[in-house]
Structure 1
């Protein structure tokens, strides 16, 4: 029995967990996001909506629309992860005022910091969308 929609469902679930986690950390825990975190939220939040509508309507185009957002978020999260790891020079830090992008104060899951988790979420979503789109290519 073929389930071509399964990677799309998994990508949607990852985006729902990432979106819910970001809202929980910001609104319930009261942590103010840095500039790069805001950019990652801007990329992630619409993915949850687009993929949910795509699943409901059984429409492949939602994955096509969500993939560029996931790849954009992956690049931002990758840069943020390198910044937190200290591999990016201090002069390249985009956060000049407010919460520092380089000094993350929250680590979860055995010391993983939020930018690494964001990177993993965007990477998983992008990979799942590639699998889904490749598997449904014949439906065009």
Structure 2
């Protein structure tokens, strides 16, 4: 019985880690736009639409020990992941600029920031969505 409780507790630790990543990504996005003055492109806004609510969804799931938090959060994570993946393909030049959804405002393929010469804002977003998805899948028991 103690092992089952410990396993259950460690699984909630995975949700907590996913919440920390969502919170860090949210605060990072706000820092880039508000403190650094980088105006988000259209695809960045869509990624924010999927990331920002995760902070609250995962926090409420943790606070209430709601086992359905996986069902609430994962669809948003998957949708955000696809937007981030498309944004990275566009950013890397795999998708031609003619298919760029950005109309007015900053270009979705414009290089605004490169940390260490290769880490872009779209890559940070893709990494955050990927790790959150992996943590939630492990929590659910889909990955072992």
- Alpha-carbon separation, structure 2, partners of 1:106 and 1:33: 12
Match of 2:22 in 1: 15
Q: Secondary structure at 1:103's aligned position in 2? A: coil
Name structure 2 gaps, 5 residues minimum. 1-5
Q: In the alignment, is the contact (CA less than 8 A) between 1:43 and 1:72 conserved in 2?
A: yes
Partner of 2:85: 78
Cα separation, 1, equivalents of 2:75 and 2:140: 13
Mapped contact 2:41–2:108 kept (Cα < 8 A): yes
> Shift of the alpha carbon at 1:4?
2.0
Supply the distance in 2 between the matched residues of 1:11 and 1:110 (Cα, whole angstroms).
Answer: 27
1:63 Cα deviation from its structure 2 partner: 2.2
Change (3 A) 1:69 1:109: farther
Contact 1:64 1:133 in 2 (8 A): no
TM-score by length of 1: 0.91
1:120-139 correspondence to structure 2 within 5 Å: 120-134=127-141
Structure 1 gaps of 5+ residues are 136-140
Q: Which residue number in structure 1 is paired with residue 40 of structure 2?
A: 33
Q: CA deviation at 1:91?
A: 1.3
Match of 1:138 in 2: none
Distance 1:59 1:110 in 2: 41
**1:24-63 alignment, distance < 5 Å:** 24-63=31-70
Give the TM-score, by structure 2 length.
Answer: 0.89
Query: 1:118 — aligned with what?
Result: 125
Contact 1:77 1:119 in 2 (8 A): yes
Is the 2:78–2:129 Cα contact (8 Å) retained in structure 1?
A: yes
Residue 66 in 1 paired to residue 68 in 2?
no
RMSD: 1.2
**4+ aligned runs moved over 3 Å, structure 1:** none
Deviations 1:9-56 (A, max 9, x none): 111111010001001111111111000000000000001110011111
